[in-house]
């Protein structure tokens, strides 16, 4: 079988944790089992210039990463990195960039066109609202960088219809755009017997507590402030509610101080970073999953992971979240509405969720998997090579 060399360009990659990183990893691992030889081109972030992550070859370029400290993961390649881009793009048969607004996608797109390499773009998020000067910067970047990447792409994959509408609003050719929903690793994320009691003891949570989990990077757009406000309201109606927040980020200490100020240490727990290996254990200690995003959600992986573990999801109605939600297994509420979020959480915390969890797992097995996602991705590649 003839192997197709594939260069996947992403602004960040594992071990840096994030949604795009996870998508790239899951797809590359499965593409390696087909007729593809994928490698990742990404910026250097406390790593070697070249490394291997779980069998995936990674080539790094040097960049300025100032925005990361502000919760804005935008790497600016050094001029010296152009040589790395040229060598890497020229030596591969097919180029797949992730995210239209990044300079890495822009450089890769221009070089791919220069050397007649087929170019695929996956767009993950919708417009991210920061409600400050960054909104203007994002809009300008969409016009200066993003639109050109969209124009150069031979195929534009979007993870939801909401994301499709976003790229179309920027002038993307409708004929190039195709929706491909994210998947979930159904072998990793599944109901695990006996874990709830064990994890409850580890976290110091009483056996009769109703645990509400969220897995978030602690930044403004992810709605941690909304979740904390809703938790304060919900606990007054159901004192047995315990909120567990998995993740870290630039707002971690601020959130921690706010929890102490409200006297909610018992009912609102911050775990900090949790490894990928342990993450399924946290899903299995929970009874519900909360997704309080303000904007920017294309198709959140954490919602799929939670549902694969049998957790009903209470989410804000932003981006493509509604496309994978069922009113039977969760509820959508308006963003930035602590009252609505609290009401929905209290409502579901009082339900008998046992039967619901079994039905939800069956639905996920039927509809979502990374294997199905990559099978379709392979078909898209075949159209271009």
**pTM for the model:** 0.91
229 shares a domain with 349: yes
Give the Cβ contact number of residue 323 at 10 Å: 15
Cβ 97 vs Cβ 149: under 8 Å: yes
pLDDT of residue 158: 98
128 shares a domain with 232: no
Q: What is the pLDDT of residues 160-190, one digit of tens each?
A: 999 999 999 999 999 999 999 999 999 999 9
Look at residue 85 and give its three-state secondary structure: helix
In a domain, 234, yes or no: yes
In a domain, 188, yes or no: no
241 shares a domain with 127: no
Cβ 242 vs Cβ 205: under 8 Å: yes
Residue 96 Cα to chain centre, angstroms = 18
298 shares a domain with 167: no
For position 65, which CATH number holds? 3.40.50.2000
152 shares a domain with 251: no
154 shares a domain with 33: yes
217 shares a domain with 176: no
Quote the CA–CA distance of 229 and 231 in Å, as a whole number: 5
In a domain, 64, yes or no: yes
What backbone torsions phi and psi does residue 49 show, to the nearest 5 degrees?
-65, -30
225 shares a domain with 299: yes
Quote the CA–CA distance of 329 and 114 in Å, as a whole number: 49
In a domain, 21, yes or no: yes
Domain extent at residue 314: 195-367
In a domain, 39, yes or no: yes
Q: What is the pLDDT of residues 118-146, one digit of tens each?
A: 999 999 998 878 777 877 888 998 889 99
In a domain, 190, yes or no: no
Look at residue 265 and give its three-state secondary structure: coil
Alpha helices in the chain (DSSP H): 19-31, 82-90, 103-114, 133-141, 147-152, 161-169, 195-203, 224-237, 252-262, 279-285, 301-308, 338-349, 354-367, 370-384
Quote the CA–CA distance of 75 and 65 in Å, as a whole number: 5
Residue 243, strand partner residues: 212, 268
232 shares a domain with 175: no
Q: Which residue has the higher pLDDT, 261 or 352?
A: 261
pLDDT of residue 70: 62
Structure confidence at residue 11 as a pLDDT band (50, 70, 90): very high
Q: What is the pLDDT of residues 50-60, one digit of tens each?
A: 999 999 999 99
In a domain, 139, yes or no: yes
Arithmetic mean of pLDDT, 187-201 = 94
Report angle CA 36, 38, 44 to the nearest 5 degrees.
Answer: 175
Quote the CA–CA distance of 86 and 208 in Å, as a whole number: 59
Domains: count for the chain: 2
14 shares a domain with 73: yes
Report angle CA 47, 50, 51 to the nearest 5 degrees.
Answer: 75
In a domain, 274, yes or no: yes
207 shares a domain with 80: no
378 shares a domain with 260: no
């Amino acid at each position: 079988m003839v192997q197709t060399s594939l260069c996947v360009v992403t602004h960040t990659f594992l071990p840096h944790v994030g949604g795009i990183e996870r998508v790239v990893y899951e797809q590359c691992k499965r593409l390696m089992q087909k007729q593809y030889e994928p490698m990742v081109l990404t910026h250097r972030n406390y790593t070697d210039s070249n490394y291997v992550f779980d069998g995936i070859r990674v080539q790094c370029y040097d960049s300025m990463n100032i925005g990361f400290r502000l919760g804005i993961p935008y790497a600016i390649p050094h001029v010296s990195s152009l040589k790395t881009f040229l060598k890497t793009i020229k030596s591969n048969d097919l180029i797949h960039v992730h995210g239209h607004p990044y300079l890495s996608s822009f450089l890769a797109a221009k070089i791919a066109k220069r050397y007649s390499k087929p170019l695929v773009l996956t767009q993950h998020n919708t417009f991210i609202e920061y409600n400050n000067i960054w909104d203007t910067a994002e809009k300008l970047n969409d016009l200066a960088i993003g639109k050109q990447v969209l124009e150069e792409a031979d195929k534009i994959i979007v993870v939801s219809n909401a994301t499709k509408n976003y790229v179309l609003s920027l002038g993307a050719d409708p004929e190039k755009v195709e929706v491909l929903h994210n998947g979930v690793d159904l072998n990793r994320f599944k109901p695990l017997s006996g874990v709830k009691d064990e994890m409850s003891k580890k976290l110091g949570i009483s056996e009769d507590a109703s645990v509400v989990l969220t897995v978030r990077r602690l930044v403004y757009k992810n709605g941690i402030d909304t979740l904390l406000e809703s938790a304060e309201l919900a606990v007054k109606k159901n004192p047995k509610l315990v909120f567990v927040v998995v993740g870290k980020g630039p707002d971690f200490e601020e959130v921690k101080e706010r929890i102490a100020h409200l006297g909610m240490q018992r009912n609102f727990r911050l775990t900090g970073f949790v490894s990928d290996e342990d993450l399924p254990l946290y899903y299995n200690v929970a009874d519900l999953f909360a997704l309080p995003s303000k904007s920017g959600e294309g198709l959140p992986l954490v919602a799929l992971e939670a549902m694969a573990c049998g957790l009903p999801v209470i989410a804000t109605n932003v981006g493509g979240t509604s496309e994978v939600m069922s009113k039977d297994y969760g509820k959508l509420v308006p963003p930035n509405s602590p009252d609505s979020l609290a009401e929905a959480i209290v409502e579901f915390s009082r339900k008998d969720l046992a039967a619901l969890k079994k039905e939800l797992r069956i639905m996920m097995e039927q509809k979502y998997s990374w294997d199905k996602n990559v099978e379709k991705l392979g078909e898209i590649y075949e159209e271009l090579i």
